[in-house]
């Protein structure tokens, strides 16, 4: 259960109460609570009525393992609800941050404040469902050339020779980048590799823009981190 | 473009014509055509009116690479439209066959003929989009214990020690198996491993039932096949 902050007594509102009821939680039950910033603990439900719940903090708890360094997904903007699905799966697969990109061939070039909020809410829900103590941050879209990263950047690129399992280096933060429907332009890929990005293959078939991030993050998760 | 069979002259109906118009195809253009059974060729559009198109076969064409042996996804039945998304992504990621499974914890235990047809149509569309010459076959649901396979079966299992990249063996057909929401039961996993299945990890976090197949097939594709 996501709470604003871990404290001795925590009060939850109607939305969380609805979630508790769906989970068939009752007074006296013990839950995991987390603050979305990496802190997680056990708490006991002491009050549960129709609109309000109170929890009392129990002991600290080892959270679900996070990646050795933060993992960022940098993904080109996508149409409709595709981004929501990508954010949800990326959260399960361990990302700490989603950077949204405006690229040459992206047919979406902006995103409303409301939609951005909705994506953050989806990240929070998905973090809760997969019991992660970290809620990924979904950042406002930036043009590709303005993207900055720490550590290593791997860009999914059809025809690339390197495989993620051969080049992935977890001694620093990791960013994986996937393009829009139609792909990144050659100029965009060159600009990225000039800045140190490493192209990686996702196999011989062309993937949709919403499948590529899940496939690439899936490969990283399947490596065990 | 999917056609019933490769022949010297091929006639297409209204549905295909709509697709050609979306793609802005005109008379004289050359297209890839394929029959869904691994045969692919080039064809020239000779007639294109509102409801009917004619194509003339050109030379044969090297298709998009297929896996060394057929790849099967065996996935527990899922609710609602989740199966559609799984079939679509699995097709992009190279499967030749989708086996639907009835498992102990699957909250869906059957699927109507219409829905099965719809899944086959989605596989055909996805094969076309990703330019595969093979359209995956979506099979009628079978109970898990009745599943048979040739070659190797890898089952996604939380807590497994082996990684797919360490055990994947492409000298025979490959099947990957993913469970329902809530997972396979211990008895189900034991029954599979007794029959030779190898459990593999998808990382330390629990994935939703619809994310696991994409992550696992993504890892296999990222290995380069």
pLDDT truncated to tens, each residue of chain A (225 aa)?
A: 778 888 888 888 888 888 777 677 788 877 777 777 666 677 888 999 989 999 888 755 555 678 989 999 999 999 888 999 999 999 999 999 999 999 999 878 889 999 999 999 999 999 988 888 899 999 999 999 999 999 999 999 988 989 999 999 999 999 999 999 999 999 999 999 999 999 999 998 989 999 999 999 999 999 987
Angle of helix A82-92 versus helix A212-222 axis, rounded to 10: 0
CATH number of B71-222: 3.40.1280.10
Hey, what are A116's tokens?
């951005």
| Cα–Cα distance measured from residue B159 to residue B200, given in angstroms and rounded to the nearest whole number | 8
| Cα–Cα distance measured from residue B6 to residue B89, given in angstroms and rounded to the nearest whole number | 26
CB contact under 8 Å between B64 and A207, yes or no, is: no
Q: Where in chain B is the domain with CATH 2.40.240.20?
A: 9-60
Which residues does residue B178 pair with via DSSP β-bridges, in sequence order? B75
Q: Which residue of A has its CA nearest to B201?
A: A222
Q: Which residues of A touch B207 (CB under 8 A)?
A: 92-93, 130, 221
Whole-number average pLDDT of chain A:
90
Contact A62, A81 (CB under 8 A): no
| Cα–Cα distance measured from residue A127 to residue B189, given in angstroms and rounded to the nearest whole number | 27
CA angle A142, A143, A148 (to 5 degrees): 70
CA angle B220, B119, B84 (to 5 degrees): 60
Q: Which residue of A has its CA nearest to B219?
A: A219
The pLDDT value given to residue A208: 95
CB contact under 8 Å between A208 and B92, yes or no, is: yes
- Is a pLDDT exceeding 90 seen at residue B59? no
Average pLDDT over residues B51-63: 75
The pLDDT value given to residue A18: 82
pLDDT digits (tens, 9 = 90+) for A161-190: 899 999 999 999 999 999 999 999 999 999
B97 three-class SS: strand
Which residues does residue B17 pair with via DSSP β-bridges, in sequence order? none
**Which residues have CB under 8 Å from A224's CB, separation 6+?**
B163, B201, B203, B204
Residue whose pair of structure tokens reads 């799984």 in the numeric block: B86
| Cα–Cα distance measured from residue A86 to residue A66, given in angstroms and rounded to the nearest whole number | 19
Q: How confident is the model at residue B61 (pLDDT cuts 50, 70, 90)?
A: low
Q: How confident is the model at residue B121 (pLDDT cuts 50, 70, 90)?
A: very high
Which chain B residues have any C-beta within 8 angstroms of a chain A C-beta?
64-65, 85, 88-89, 92-94, 129-132, 163-165, 200-208, 211, 214-225
DSSP letters, A157-193, are: -TT----HHHH--TTS-EEEEE--TT---HHHHHHHH
The pLDDT value given to residue B80: 80
| Cα–Cα distance measured from residue A64 to residue B169, given in angstroms and rounded to the nearest whole number | 31
| Cα–Cα distance measured from residue A33 to residue A6, given in angstroms and rounded to the nearest whole number | 8
H or E segment and range at residue A14: helix A14-22
CB contact under 8 Å between B221 and A200, yes or no, is: no
Percent of chain B exceeding pLDDT 70 equals 95
- Is a pLDDT exceeding 90 seen at residue B21? no
Among 3.40.1410.10, 3.40.190.10, 2.40.240.20, 3.40.47.10, name the CATH number for the domain at A9-60. 2.40.240.20
Contact B206, B158 (CB under 8 A): yes
A195 three-class SS: coil
The pLDDT value given to residue A38: 63
* CA-based torsion, B210, B214, B217, B220: positive or negative: negative
Q: How confident is the model at residue B191 (pLDDT cuts 50, 70, 90)?
A: very high
Average pLDDT over residues B197-213: 95
Q: Where in chain A is the domain with CATH 3.40.1280.10?
A: 71-222
Q: How many CB pairs under 8 A join A and B?
A: 146
**Looking at the partner chain, which of A163, A203, A222 has a beta carbon nearest the beta carbon of B203?**
A222
CB contact under 8 Å between B163 and A224, yes or no, is: yes
- Which of A125, A176, A218, A223 would you mutate first to test chain B, the one with the most B CBs within 10 A? A218
Contact B101, B143 (CB under 8 A): yes
| Cα–Cα distance measured from residue A105 to residue B205, given in angstroms and rounded to the nearest whole number | 33
- Which of A219, A220, A225 would you mutate first to test chain B, the one with the most B CBs within 10 A? A219
The pLDDT value given to residue B105: 93
Which residue intervals of B158-204 are DSSP H helices?
Answer: 164-167, 186-194
| Cα–Cα distance measured from residue A98 to residue A103, given in angstroms and rounded to the nearest whole number | 15
Residue whose pair of structure tokens reads 């960022």 in the numeric block: A72
Whole-number average pLDDT of chain B:
90
The nearest CA of chain A is from the CA of B220 a distance in Å of 8
**Which residues have CB under 8 Å from A217's CB, separation 6+?**
A71, A73, A89, A90, A93, A94, A95, A176, B215, B218
CB contact under 8 Å between A65 and B205, yes or no, is: yes
- Is a pLDDT exceeding 60 seen at residue B60? no
H or E segment and range at residue A100: strand A97-102
Q: Which residues of B touch A125 (CB under 8 A)?
A: none
CB contact under 8 Å between A205 and B132, yes or no, is: yes
């Amino acid at each position: 259960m996501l709470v604003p902050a871990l404290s001795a007594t925590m009060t939850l509102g109607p939305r969380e109460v609805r979630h508790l009821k769906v989970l068939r939680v009752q007074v006296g039950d013990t839950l995991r609570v987390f603050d979305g910033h990496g802190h997680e603990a056990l708490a006991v439900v002491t009050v549960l009525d129709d609109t309000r719940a109170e929890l009392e903090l129990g002991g600290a708890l080892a959270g679900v393992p996070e990646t050795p360094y933060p993992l960022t997904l940098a993904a080109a903007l996508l149409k409709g609800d595709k981004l929501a699905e990508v954010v949800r799966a990326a959260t399960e697969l361990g990302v700490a941050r989603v950077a949204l990109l405006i690229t040459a061939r992206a047919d979406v070039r902006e995103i409303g404040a409301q939609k951005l909020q909705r994506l953050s809410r989806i990240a929070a829900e998905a973090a809760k469902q997969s019991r992660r103590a970290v809620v990924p941050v979904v950042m406002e879209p930036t043009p590709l050339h303005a993207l900055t990263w720490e550590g290593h950047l791997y860009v999914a690129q059809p025809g690339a020779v390197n495989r993620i399992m051969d080049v992935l280096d977890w001694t620093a933060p990791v960013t994986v980048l996937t393009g829009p429907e139609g792909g990144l332009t050659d100029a965009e890929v060159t600009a990225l590799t000039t800045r140190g990005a490493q192209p990686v293959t996702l196999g011989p078939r062309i993937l949709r823009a919403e499948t590529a991030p899940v496939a690439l993050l899936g490969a990283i998760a399947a490596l065990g981190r």
